[in-house]
Amino acid sequence: MKKHDVIPSNDLKFDTFQSNLISLCTANQVAWGITLVLLTALTPLQAAWTAALIVCKERKNSTQAQRTAKNAARKAFEAKLRPFIQSQIQQNTTMTDANKQQCGVNPHKAIKTPVPAPADAPVIMIKAPGNGVVELFYKQPPRADGSSSRGKPSGVANCKYVYMIGATAPTKVEQCNLCAYSSKNPLQFTFDPSMKGQHIWGFACWVNGKNQEGPWSDSFDTTIN
């Protein structure tokens, strides 16, 4: 998704935006704690932009040289206006969100919404096609319509697998002494030919970006072929 730009791209909308912003900052300079020297530095750049725009408002009545000068004036103005907006408005703790919105600037969210720990367990499918290869596939639990997705749920970074190799099935997750993570399907193991006929058992859970685990899946198992 394209990131929103606080400064309008259209020249006429930009002109309305900058005029409103600077007028409000000038009128409320003391109340909002706007740094006067930074605000004053915008004055000649604003004047140059305004004069250049007037000449070019009617494109058919302006020359290529005049339009080039207008674009240069805007570029120079924006180069100072952007850091001014960032330091004097976005990061200004004296201004309220409503004040910032008056200036045409949407305030940044102070706190990001935390990603919760996963709520569901993955469904695991396992294949052992031969030559010591074992493949683990995850998918989401079936929805109400009976369908399911092989993609990870929103907010999930990886599928965590814990497993063990042996003759007896584990009765709890803690008995599995091996671990692997996968962000894509399938997770593939290639075991030594000497391990053919041995049994692999395991469980899986979703893990978010903070390594918070969701509930564990039902056990899975297969024989190494």
Please write the tens of the pLDDT for every residue from 9-28.
Answer: 999 999 999 999 999 999 99
Handedness of CA 7, 10, 15, 16 (dihedral sign): negative
For residue range 37-66, list pLDDT tens digits in order: 999 999 999 999 999 999 998 777 889 999
| Average pLDDT over the chain, rounded to an integer | 92
Predicted confidence (pLDDT) at residue 2 exceeds the cutoff of 70: no
Question: Which residues, in sequence order, are CB contacts of 10 under 8 Å at separation 6+?
Answer: none
In which band, very low, low, confident or very high, does the pLDDT at 115 lie, cut at 50, 70 and 90? confident
Give pTM, 2 decimals: 0.52
Predicted confidence (pLDDT) at residue 84 exceeds the cutoff of 60: yes
Which residue has tokens 């201004």? 95
For residue range 154-202, list pLDDT tens digits in order: 999 999 999 999 999 999 999 999 999 999 999 999 999 999 999 999 9
Predicted confidence (pLDDT) at residue 144 exceeds the cutoff of 70: no
Q: Is 63 exposed, middle or buried (0-12, 13-18, 19+ CB in 10 A)?
A: exposed
